[in-house]
Amino acid sequence: GDSVTQMEGPVTLSEEAFLTINCTYTATGYPSLFWYVQYPGEGLQLLLKATKADDKGSNKGFEATYRKETTSFHLEKGSVQVSDSAVYFCALKQGSGNQFYFGTGTSLTVIP
Amino acid sequence: DGGITQSPKYLFRKEGQNVTLSCEQNLNHDAMYWYRQDPGQGLRLIYYSQIVNDFQKGDIAEGYSVSREKKESFPLTVTSAQKNPTAFYLCASSVSRNSNQPQHFGDGTRLSIL
């Protein structure tokens, strides 16, 4: 079945460091891929998405590229800020499917 | 602005009591979902609904019930049969089944046992 695997956290970085959070997926066909962010005590917010191979999603300095050959959708940011501290979730959905599949989340803490 | 409203933000349950969590959306989405999130863990699907008057069990439906009488509303009842209900509950919606559009989430309800 479909599934998403994320790198385990927690991840702690200094401000202005480079961020990579790995995400790989297992799916038949051509799913859409998403990154969500969750701040403490809140729901999930869509950060970026990509709907086909080689698409690059980007938002607020974050980027992720849909790599079908490696079944990956790694999240990157060139220079993190303290305000980026949150939990990040990778997710996928098949176009004709009922469900969304989420990774287990990666907690990021950025220290000044 | 369109969005998903969950209420209450905090809820306390006594032993043997059923409690209902509200979820309302004004996004005109067909599909709605309930997830449970435990500390430091990912999301687990409780129930989902693709259309009014129809819903399906997710991975952890035991001890929970739902209804979908209106497109905008998808309340979740945590019954007394759910022995470990303390968790953060998230409601979500999406355009429809046959879509690659993302889910939108509410701000969650935190349920605790008295």
Lowest mean pLDDT among A56-70, A75-89, B20-34, B99-113: B99-113
Contact B97 A97 (CB under 8 A): yes
* CA-closest candidate to residue B93, choices B8, B21, B20, B28: B28
Question: Between these two residues, B3 and A1, which has the higher pLDDT value?
Answer: B3
Question: Between these two residues, A8 and A105, which has the higher pLDDT value?
Answer: A105
User: Three-state SS for A82?
Assistant: helix
The pLDDT mean for chain A works out to 94
The pLDDT value recorded for residue B1 is: 65
Query: In chain B, whose CA is at the least distance from the CA of A49?
Result: B102
The pLDDT mean for chain B works out to 93
For residue B21, which residues of chain A lie inside 8 Å, CB to CB?
A: none
**What CA–CA distance (Å, rounded) separates A103 from A6?**
6
B69 touches chain A (CB under 8 A): no
pLDDT band at B39 (very low <50, low <70, confident <90, very high): confident
Tell me the residues of chain A between 50 and 79 that have a Cβ less than 8 Å away from chain B. Answer: 51
pLDDT of residue A39 exceeding 70: yes
User: Three-state SS for A87?
Assistant: strand
CB pairs under 8 A between A and B: 61
